[in-house]
Structure 1
Amino acid sequence: MRALKTLLAAGLLAALSGIPAYAEITVATAGPMTGQYASFGQQMKAGAEMAVADINAKGGVLGEMLKLEVGDDACDPKQAVAVANEMVGNGVVYMAGHFCSGSSIPASKVYEEEGIIQVSPASTNPKLTDEGGPNVFRVCGRDDQQGEVAGKFLAGVYRSMNIAIVHDKTAYGKGLADATMASMNKYGKKETLYEAYTAGEKDYTALVSKLKQNNIQVLYVGGYHSEAGLMVRQMRDQGMNTVLVSGDALVTDEYWQITGDAGEGTLMTFSPDPRKNPIAAPLVKAFRDKGIEPEGYVLYTYASIQVFAQAAEAAGSTDMDKILKVMNSTKFNTVLGELGFDSKGDVSLPGYVFYIWKDGNYDYL
């Protein structure tokens, strides 16, 4: 009914103005466009805008142009639900979002109820697909996969050292920290300290002092770059050489802007860097020509939009049920490589690897 009213209104306006009516298909991305994690929102926005522009330049989808809506959830669960409802009102048929797991999970309930397909480029908490509806997918990995890799690494490389695991109490941060700790314990290494911290603070000296008192030599942070960056700086201020290890929420140049040289040697897990994929080279150049570095989740968001375009074309429709049949049975050629989805909606792409920060950049360890 919503779509019919929109179409009738567009047709009436065109008739009155004498301009032909052109149908549009509305897709969206949503994430932290403002706030302390805005660098990730900007990654998603850049990827979605380029994908929509490229698809439209080739004729759109089903002969119609794509229109992009951008939602700002600030990584807040309540705001994410409000954004999801706003997207429903805007006639969105596909959501390439959200970023934070704590946003994607509650928003997914709205999308399921309203018949909107959701493909997150970045939300890694297992609950998103384990408990989500048939409309929920992701093109990134899962924290149980990421935690398995990180925990095994910590247990093997730092077996004789004192390791602390801390988290920010979010669905992403705590989920990743717990998965990493479980994996590390499985491989025979026990943590010296397990603590929670509050995201958004500027002073972590109390936590750092506790780490120092316990002679912590390796700190695993289940959380985001903004807090991890402050922690490593404040550890260096207290004369600590503790190695900071974290997950995929450090894949932003903003981490180094916070840490400066204190970030040297930071380790993190992330999927294989899609910028290094030969098939991505022309797109990477196109982004750089526009002054955009396609780091982190830029190309993951681009791929999310590619999946929709290919699935809708194959289905011959934007109807959710028809597209879902395609998504559940088809491989898609994307900037990330060929990918498909399992019965839960998780992606069939290579898992996690380790990176190290050096001289302001991250690369494979």
Structure 2
Amino acid sequence: MNRNLLRLTAAIIFAMAKAGSAGAEILIGMAGALTGPNAYQGEQQQQGVEMAIVDINAAGGVLGQPLRLISVDDSCDSGQAIAAAHKLVAEQVAFVVGHQCSGASIPAAGVYERAGVIQMTPASTNPRLTEEGRANVFRICGRDDQQGEIAGAYLAESGRDAKIAIISDGSVYGDGITQETRRHLRERGVAETLHDTLEPGLNDYSPLIAKLQSAGIRIAYFGGYYREAGILIRNAREQGYDLQLVSGDSIASEAYIQVAGEAGEGTVFTSFRDPRRNPRAASLVERFRRQGFEPEGYTLYSYGAVQAWAQAVTKAGSIDPHAVASALRSNEFDTILGRVSFDAKGDVRQPGFEWFIWRSDRYVPLE
């Protein structure tokens, strides 16, 4: 009788645990700029994660459990990023897609490491994020040393007979990408004529434009965010200055052309490969567009980050961060970005960067 009672009790406990597990949710965090000047790109991140969760839940969730999103705003600010990371940790999220800006991602990474939370950024390109050796950190986009290498080569080829300026907005992202571009430019035997920093947040950069014009600058490489890039080239055109602006991935957004207007036409920039051009992504891209959202920039990279993590969890058979991190580093994943894998540092092996140009209010590959 006692043995039968014990078996019955054990069976009831097992059934209750199974029922509780089946009804549980796995919490996913999204950390990015939902307010402030970079909110447009934070919205890309948000839209990508939301759609990925909808699709994964429709297919049965992860390990039979639905995913639920908790979003936090860091405004691309280091202090707010740390506070946002603590909030997600307190909510007991298993995974964070973010942060968007390198200056936010890097300080937040330590918070997630101490809490045992997997972090994967779809946008932060500063090499320091993965060079610090944290086992919980992954990057599904490229790095600034990769971006700087092709930017430096382009400037060296284009600028042999023209004076070049290199300008940073002073952010972690801006300084990182300009340093790498400058280094690769000089490795090719070409030096910039002028190296300067602008103050972000201003509404007019006419004094800097006058300085560039006075120095005879024909090509300006700008490392920073889309708002300042748009104002910079707009001010140049207002002064009748035919400056060629070259920049990085942060201007892969309609927000850039909204700021720059017609002056943005012809701006050349490096960015991640555009997964919208992949035929396999066509139906997903069309779903976004039917909802009135263009999945440019970081949208599909955010979607792909959730896919990669979900597949790693399935391979690990658990949301345990050590098991998931090991699965992420030792497998290849089928995502909207194509097949992706991660190296020992947590950097994605694919895809890389390519050149784009703004033409007729949209960006297209530079031929």
TM-score class, shorter: over 0.9
Alignment partner of 1:325 is 2:326 = yes
Contact 2:22/2:64 (<8 A) preserved: no
Residue matched to 1:278: 279
3-state DSSP of counterpart to 1:202: coil
TM-superposed deviation, 1:132: 4.0
The question of 1:111 aligning with 2:112 is answered: yes
Confirm or deny that 1:316 pairs with 2:317: yes
Q: Which aligned pairs between 1:81-160 and structure 2 lie closer than 5 A? A: 81-160=82-161
Q: In the alignment, what sits opposite 1:194?
A: 195
Moved more, 255-264 or 111-120: 255-264
Structure 2 unmatched runs, 5+: 1-15
Query: What residue is the counterpart of 1:60 in the other structure?
Result: 61
**Which residue is 1:4 aligned to?**
none
Amino acid at match of 1:78: G
Q: Deviations over 1:34-70 (max 9, x none)?
A: 0001001000000000000000001100010001011
Which residue does the alignment assign to 2:208?
Answer: 207
In the alignment, does 2:364 pair up with 1:363?
yes
Aligned to 1:223: 224
Structure 1 outlier segments of 4+, above 3 Å? none
Q: Secondary structure at the match of 2:27?
A: strand
SS in 2 for 1:328: helix
Task: Sort the Cα spacing of 1:59 and 1:102 in 2 relative to 1 into closer, same or farther, 3 A.
Answer: same
AA at the equivalent of 2:109: S
Q: Distance in 1 between matches of 2:355 and 2:194?
A: 23
What is the distance in 1 between the residues matched to 2:348 and 2:44?
20
Cα RMSD between the aligned structures? 1.3
- Residues 164 and 219, structure 1, Cα contact 8 Å, conserved in 2: yes
Residue 164 of structure 1 is matched in structure 2 by: 165
* Aligned-residue offset at 1:21: 7.6
TM norm structure 2: 0.93
How far off its partner does 1:350 sit?
3.1
Q: Distance in 1 between matches of 2:299 and 2:177?
A: 22
Q: CA deviation at 1:80?
A: 0.2
In the TM superposition, residue 29 of structure 1 has moved relative to its aligned partner by: 1.1
Shift of 1:20: 10
Question: Which residue identity lines up with residue 170 of structure 1 in the other structure?
Answer: S
Question: 1:200 Cα deviation (Å)?
Answer: 1.0
Q: What is the DSSP-based 3-state SS (H/G/I as helix, E as strand, rest coil) of the residue aligned with 2:135?
A: coil
Asked if 1 retains the 8 angstrom alpha-carbon contact of 2:22 and 2:65, the reply is no
Q: Distance in 2 between matches of 1:132 and 1:233?
A: 41
Amino acid in the other structure paired with 1:147: G
Deviations 1:59-92 (A, max 9, x none): 1000100010111000000000000000011111
d(CA) in 1 for partners of 2:196, 2:159:
19
Q: Distance in 2 between matches of 1:56 and 1:292?
A: 21
Q: How many residues were matched structurally?
A: 348
Distance 1:259 1:292 in 2: 21
Secondary structure of the 2:217 match is coil
Match of 1:5 in 2: none
SS at match of 1:245: strand
CA shift for structure 1 position 308: 1.2
Residues 20 and 333 (structure 1), Cα distance of their counterparts in 2 relative to 1, 3 Å cut:
closer
**TM-superposed deviation, 1:282:** 1.2
Contact 1:108/1:132, CA 8 A, preserved across alignment: no
C-alpha offsets along residues 165-222 of structure 1, whole Å, 9 cap, x if unaligned?
A: 0001111001001100111111111101000111111111111111111011001000
Secondary structure in structure 1 of the residue aligned to 2:134: coil
**Corresponding residue SS for 1:59:** coil
Cα 1:132–1:97, aligned 2, differ >3 Å: closer, same or farther?
farther
Report if aligned partners of 1:105, 1:132 keep a CA contact under 8 Å in 2. Answer: no
Calculate percent identity across the aligned residue pairs.
48
Q: Within 1, Cα distance between the matches of 2:345 and 2:322? A: 16
Separation of aligned partners in 1, 2:38 and 2:133: 24
Counterpart CA distance in 2 for 1:91 and 1:106 is 19
Q: Distance in 2 between matches of 1:20 and 1:138?
A: 30
Q: Deviations over 1:299-336 (max 9, x none)?
A: 00000000111011111100001111211100000000
Indicate how the Cα distance of structure 1 residues 20 and 221 shifts in structure 2: closer, same or farther if over 3 A, else same. Answer: closer
Does the aligned pair in 2 maintain the 1:98–1:120 contact within 8 Å?
A: yes
Residue 13 of structure 2: aligned partner: none
In 2, Cα distance between the equivalents of 1:337 and 1:158?
Answer: 35
Unaligned stretches of 5+ residues in structure 1:
1-14
| 1:269-319 CA-partner distances (Å, limit 9, x unpaired) | 012211001111111111111111100000000000001110111111000
DSSP-derived class of the 1:74 partner: coil
Are 1:174 and 2:175 counterparts? yes
CA distance in 1: counterparts of 2:32 and 2:75, whole angstroms = 6
How far apart, in 2, do the equivalents of 1:63 and 1:316 lie? 11
Structure 1 counterpart of 2:302:
301
Greater Cα shift, 48-57 or 279-288: 279-288
For 1:255-266, what aligned pairs fall within 5 Å after superposition? 255-266=256-267
